[in-house]
Structure 1
Amino acid sequence: MFQSLRRILLGGNFRVFDYEWRKAVFHFREPNSELAYALKADGGGARAIQMVVQARIIKHLLFALTEVGRREQDRALAAALSDSLWLAGQEASATVTLVTEDCCITSHLDNKLDTFTERLQLFTFSEKDAVTNFILDHIQCEEGSHGVILFLYSLVCSRTIDALLNLLLTGRASPHLFNGMRHLGQDGLPLQRPLQGVLSRSDVGYLRWSREEMERGALPQLQVGSMLKTPRFPVWVCSINSSCSVLFSATRSLLSDWRAEHLFQLYYYSGQSSQTATARLTVTHSHHWEASPGDAEGDPEKRFPSLEMTIRTKWDGAVIAWNGTSPFY
């Protein structure tokens, strides 16, 4: 079984996770600080996983971000991890992987060989609360515990993986980001096998924009559907020029009342340690039936930061103010 896990995630039995993956953990910034809700996620392939978990952490802390101590951090992380595992298990079961020699999510992986995959122990639960409590009991781990890799293994064991991002966000391993089923190809001819996209709204959403893809004219084929753009909570994982980060709002009605979209605040966290404060952006938006003819003039892709273009994939034509922060993305 564990050889199958390695093949699924790495493409072969003799490949191993690199140093960036092995050192990746779920580690918070300083408790009771402005960024107490935030995970450290500077780089490497594990950052995408960390930022999806970050979005779920924010969902649980969304209206208490100023009162986050160590206890709240642990509870939010346990809830965020169990959310993803429970969805991956079709909301019927979930599996958590630990290293057998320890009672905590920790191991000491050799720099050259994967010596801990074969020492994994699986714990399967049929109730979500049991998953959350089990993770909470084993969450206090030292640096170098390979926590992100073990979470990834848990996710795969909860449900075989085809498309990791959608599996994390929605619990369904669809490789496509559009809504529903697509039966026709780009040329209008029927597809031999229909493509399955996202079938329902998830708790946290997803936004994507790439300057390189825009310049190649590839964006129309890669558009994210409204199911992912409009989640149940105003929290979005963002893929901006292939780098993951998180955008969120504390306005409860933002996704349920269009009038709240006229003027609202969005908060942005990149995951990088160089960001010392949450960026606050003010968004002014007019719906298409309210916009004036001159609002669409010019070539905004060449004039605005990539983060602003990402926001406009959800709120087309929005005007965005950085409130004194120098645009950094």
Structure 2
Amino acid sequence: MSDTSKEVVDLVWGRPSGGGVPASLFRRWSQGFVFSEAERSALEQFEGGPCAVIAPVQAFLLKNILFNTEGSNWKDISEEEQRTVLCSTLSEILESACLNKTQAFHLATWPRAKTTDSSDITDSHPEPESSQTTDTPTALAAEELGFERFHSVIQKRTLRTVAELREAVLSLYDTWKNKFGVLIFLYSVILTKGIENIKNEIEDTSEPLIDPVYGHGSQSLINLLVTGHAVSNVWDGDRECSGMKLHGIHQQASVGFLTLMESLRYCKVGSFLKSPKFPIWILGSETHLSVFFTKIAAYGCIATADAPVRFGKEEKATQLAFSMRFRCDLNSPYGSHGIKE
């Protein structure tokens, strides 16, 4: 395992004592971005844990279907529309994680079939356009790879422009769908953002992005995907406590975040997350994340930080069009999926 690979692993999984990352925990995170057959615009989660990645992707995906795609029926999108909107969503999140658009983007990818013996996260640059074909996952994608083997075969692919990034993400559609797609995307965001940049934003660098016991994602992980910044708090701006600067959210988010913890007075979510640009919110509770939205932008914004979202009784009853639950039951690793209109 290369130094870069080890840094990514330490940042995401921590440095567990004893036998390393439990096989059951790694297995729960080993899934791709899979669309539901019953609800064509919904992403499914199979076990508890990866909702910290799936829910933000679901929120941005809905934004792109409802507000960025003309004539699209969110209840019945085609397979080609699924492909296009998922890849554009993943590209959007990767672009937001890049601090400087003049910097390179990085994708964690499977090695090509001819290079399956190569190991570690190594740099590779895009091939000339004429030689690029649609990337398909190798036989490795179907294997029951263990933690160490998985990380030994991941490669880092470097893209120099936004256009190259979008083309590469689209070509990797089958990779995003396979059983390790969620982790490969998460690692791509981390590599694009930069390990040191993430460490500078996280409040406690000893806390991994994935909890080593329960397997849920940290607030820093959720914020990274929602805002492009891996800060640990949900309030507006920075605050000082005993001489220590605590980083918060610095601009209005495209999609919002709410938490049950605020009703219990454990924290207070700032207006940058409460009043997003589009009326779509991720809702966090003790054990799961949910995504809900209204299709009518006038009721949920498009908001400003000075004009928070408010719903009347009838609007609450009629405009809440969709609710998806990603259950991460702490007593059971199994996650169920349901949609309610």
The alignment's TM-score, normalised by the length of structure 2, stands at 0.69
CA contact (8 A) 1:41 1:51 kept: no
- Counterpart residue identity of residue 28, structure 1: F
- Counterpart CA distance in 1 for 2:158 and 2:176 is 24
- Counterpart CA distance in 1 for 2:176 and 2:183 is 15
SS of residue in 2 equivalent to 1:114: helix
Matched, 1:269 2:324: yes
Greater RCO structure (CA 8 Å; 6+ sep): 2
Q: 1:99 aligns with which of 110, 123, 126?
A: 110
Instruction: Quote how far apart the aligned CAs of 1:275 are.
Output: 5.3
- The residue aligned with 1:165 is 222
Instruction: Select between 36-45 and 140-149 the one with higher mean Cα deviation.
Output: 140-149
- The residue aligned with 1:55 is 59
CA contact (8 A) 2:233 2:248 kept: yes
Instruction: Quote how far apart the aligned CAs of 1:116 are.
Output: 2.4
Instruction: Quote how far apart the aligned CAs of 1:180 are.
Output: 0.6
Matched, 1:202 2:253: yes
Matched, 1:26 2:26: no
The alignment's TM-score, normalised by the length of structure 1, stands at 0.72
SS of residue in 1 equivalent to 2:246: strand
CA contact (8 A) 2:52 2:221 kept: no
SS of residue in 2 equivalent to 1:116: helix
Question: Residues 80-95 of structure 1: matches in 2 within 5 Å?
Answer: 80-90=89-99, 92=101, 93-95=104-106
- Counterpart CA distance in 2 for 1:44 and 1:275 is 11
Q: 1:226 aligns with which of 271, 278, 286?
A: 271
Q: 1:36 aligns with which of 32, 36, 40?
A: 40
| Structure 1 residues not aligned, in runs of 5+ | 186-190, 281-329
- Counterpart residue identity of residue 68, structure 1: I
- The residue aligned with 2:124 is none
Question: Residues 131-146 of structure 1: matches in 2 within 5 Å?
Answer: 131-141=165-175, 144-146=178-180
CA contact (8 A) 2:279 2:302 kept: no
- Counterpart CA distance in 2 for 1:235 and 1:130 is 29
- Counterpart residue identity of residue 49, structure 2: G
Matched, 1:76 2:122: no
- Counterpart residue identity of residue 292, structure 2: L
- Counterpart residue identity of residue 41, structure 1: Q
Compared with structure 1, are the counterparts of its residues 274 and 177 closer, same or farther at alpha carbon in structure 2 (3 Å cutoff)? closer
Instruction: Quote how far apart the aligned CAs of 1:111 are.
Output: 5.2
- Counterpart CA distance in 1 for 2:152 and 2:146 is 15
CA contact (8 A) 1:177 1:225 kept: yes
- Counterpart residue identity of residue 87, structure 2: A
Aligned pair count reads: 263
- Counterpart CA distance in 1 for 2:61 and 2:223 is 17
- Counterpart CA distance in 1 for 2:175 and 2:230 is 29
- The residue aligned with 1:11 is 14
- The residue aligned with 1:283 is none
Superposed structure 1 runs of 4+ greater than 6 Å apart: 257-260
- The residue aligned with 2:340 is 279
Instruction: Select between 99-108 and 224-233 the one with higher mean Cα deviation.
Output: 99-108
- The residue aligned with 1:118 is 152
- Counterpart CA distance in 1 for 2:275 and 2:176 is 37
Q: Compare CA radii of gyration and give the structure with the larger one.
A: 1
User: Identity of aligned pairs, percent?
Assistant: 25
- Counterpart residue identity of residue 21, structure 1: W
SS of residue in 2 equivalent to 1:115: helix
Cα offsets for 1:286-311 (capped at 9, x unmatched): xxxxxxxxxxxxxxxxxxxxxxxxxx
Cα offsets for 1:192-247 (capped at 9, x unmatched): 1121100001111111104xx86xxxx33422111011111111111123301201
Compared with structure 1, are the counterparts of its residues 151 and 143 closer, same or farther at alpha carbon in structure 2 (3 Å cutoff)? closer
- The residue aligned with 2:121 is none
| Structure 2 residues not aligned, in runs of 5+ | 114-134, 203-219, 328-334
